Amino acid sequence: MTDTLLRGRTLSFVRWPEAIDDQGAWSYEEDGGLLLRGGKIVAAGAYADVERQAGEGVAKVDHRPHLLVPGFIDAHAHFPQMQIIASYGAELLEWLNTYTFPEETRFLNAQHGRRIARLFLDEMIRNGTTTVAAYCSVHKESAEAFFAESHDRNMLNIAGKVMMDRNAPGELTDTPQSGYDDTKALIAEWHGKGRQHYAITPRFAITSTPEQMEMAGALAKEFPELHIQTHLSENHDEIAFTRELYPQAEDYAGVYEHYGLLGPRTLLGHSIHLAEREADIISETGSVAVFCPTSNLFLGSGLFDYQRFRRREKPLRIAAATDVGGGTNYSMLRTMDEGYKVIALQGEKLNPFQSFWQITRGNAEALSIADRVGTLEAGTEADIIVLDSRATPVMELRMETVKSLAEELFLLQTLGDDRAVREVYVAGKPSKSIVAA
Ligand code: GUN
Ligand code: ZN
């Protein structure tokens, strides 16, 4: 297989940027090179240095003047919700009952699942997202469809069939035993196959009986290396209903705590309205609070207190996500634009380096996959995207007055979307051009 040598302006993070001038937090090469071999980055640095390490027959791709950054990571999305995104006028529980649950019943049909999985991953790629933590429907078939499609593209994705056995239509419920059995069969078939990762996925406390929570906890014990994904404290009515259903629990997070579902691989979608005790146990267990700004605004759920969560004495690990189809956009650039506004509404700021850290290395760390993706470091997997800061007339005009990398990143976040993503390398293979064709 021939090696590939990419040339462009390379940007990758080594840690959280404390401030806008914290240059030790990232590495930036004005004329950078990335040498790709066998799906991995084998050398990275100044172009001249990397070129010297490249062999004779190397295929050179010149992406100048564009930026090469690690593929974006989306820490929470629902692939079966593509055809209900932009559904009008409801808060969480009504939105679930009116739009989401009826839609998800369609995923019993494997062919439908495969079609939507294909279109969903096309959309991820078009937006520069190379890894997503995805919820499937309750049907085993939907997870099979998602993984088959993901495996065909050689994407590193994390997904699971939702476990839900109450408070939903009959066609959309499993049982504690069938949820356990189907999950176990899917783990055996898909976890570790190529780049696929299985996530144990009890949807949220409202749709699982205590018996099902026990089964989810049993799976978590049997498979401690797996991710667990669920929802937490998104909306006040949801919290009140959960307290009714689990009266013995100290609080909402206490439900997941009781069943052994908190830990460093647990992704807690939303986590907006947290009591201090809940934030403490989330921190102590190393669980991850997932910030879903477009969804939290769209459903009127609330404002995630990003900076306070980060700075508290027991800080939270934080990821960022689209939460499509409660979320309203597939782009992590659009997501962080809305995230910036949510944080601004609370009198705080998230600077552009922090934003780009979050959707690359930050999300990779939150998903415990930073040794594999989320940076451009040699030895990692070659999920790389090419960003064009002049992708639209409006961006081109604004770029005339941009004087620094920080300003350029902020422009990309504020005005950019899928049009700013020129190419996407998935394990070294150019994929956006394929999706577009
Ligand atoms: N809580 C439980 N299920 C869902 C879902 O599908 N979307 C959102 N936003 N919240 C949820
Ligand atoms: Zn969700």
- Yes or no: say if 358 and 320 are a contact pair by the CB < 8 Å rule: yes
* Atom of ligand 1 minimally distant from the CA of 207: 2
Report the alpha-carbon distance of residue 165 to residue 148 in Å, rounded: 26
Report the alpha-carbon distance of residue 4 to residue 429 in Å, rounded: 10
- Yes or no: say if 139 and 146 are a contact pair by the CB < 8 Å rule: no
**Smallest CA separation from ligand 1 atom 1, residue:** 231
Could you tell me which of 134, 114, 96, 158 has the C-alpha nearest to residue 299?
96
Distance 253 CA to ligand 1 centre (A): 16
Domain CATH for 101:
3.20.20.140
Distance 288 CA to ligand 2 centre (A): 14
Verify that 115 and 231 share a domain, yes or no. Answer: yes
Verify that 249 and 306 share a domain, yes or no. Answer: yes
Q: Which of 314, 340, 366 is the last residue of a domain?
A: 366
- Residue 198 pLDDT: 99
Distance 125 CA to ligand 1 centre (A): 23
List pLDDT tens digits, range 183-197. Answer: 999 999 999 999 999
Ligand nearest to the Cα of 238, by number: 1
Ligand nearest to the Cα of 296, by number: 1
Domain CATH for 12:
2.30.40.10
Phi, psi of 194 (to 5 degrees): 55, -125
* Atom of ligand 1 minimally distant from the CA of 100: 6
- Yes or no: say if 196 and 146 are a contact pair by the CB < 8 Å rule: no
**Smallest CA separation from ligand 1 atom 8, residue:** 326
Query: For a pocket test of ligand 1, which of 74, 91, 92 has the largest count of ligand atoms closer than 8 A to its C-beta?
Result: 92
Verify that 255 and 297 share a domain, yes or no. Answer: yes
Verify that 49 and 78 share a domain, yes or no. Answer: no
ipTM: 0.99
- Residue 394 pLDDT: 98
Q: Which of 366, 386, 411 is the last residue of a domain?
A: 366
Verify that 20 and 53 share a domain, yes or no. Answer: yes
Domain extent at residue 421: 4-70+375-436
Which residues does a 6 A CB cutoff place in the pocket of ligand 1? 78, 92, 96, 100, 203-204, 231, 234, 295, 323, 326
Verify that 260 and 332 share a domain, yes or no. Answer: yes
Q: Within the chain, which residues score under 70 in pLDDT?
A: 1, 436-437
Distance 95 CA to ligand 1 centre (A): 9
Distance 322 CA to ligand 2 centre (A): 9
* Atom of ligand 1 minimally distant from the CA of 204: 2
Ligand nearest to the Cα of 323, by number: 2
Verify that 340 and 237 share a domain, yes or no. Answer: yes
- Residue 2 pLDDT: 87
- Residue 437 pLDDT: 61
Verify that 213 and 86 share a domain, yes or no. Answer: yes
List pLDDT tens digits, range 290-338. Answer: 999 999 999 999 999 999 999 999 999 999 999 999 999 999 999 999 9
Verify that 348 and 424 share a domain, yes or no. Answer: no
Verify that 52 and 76 share a domain, yes or no. Answer: no
Verify that 90 and 204 share a domain, yes or no. Answer: yes
Strand 40-46, strand 59-70: pairing: unpaired
Q: How far is CA 254 from CA 134, 226, 278, 284, in A?
A: 24, 21, 7, 13
- Residue 436 pLDDT: 67
Distance 23 CA to ligand 1 centre (A): 38
Distance 96 CA to ligand 1 centre (A): 7
- Yes or no: say if 285 and 317 are a contact pair by the CB < 8 Å rule: no
Angle of helix 140-152 relative to helix 110-126, nearest 10 degrees? 40
Verify that 270 and 396 share a domain, yes or no. Answer: no
Query: Could you give the maximum distance between any two Cα atoms of the chain, in Å?
Result: 68
Two tokens, residue 312? 């508290």
Number of domains making up the chain = 2
Q: Which of 317, 342, 366 is the last residue of a domain?
A: 366
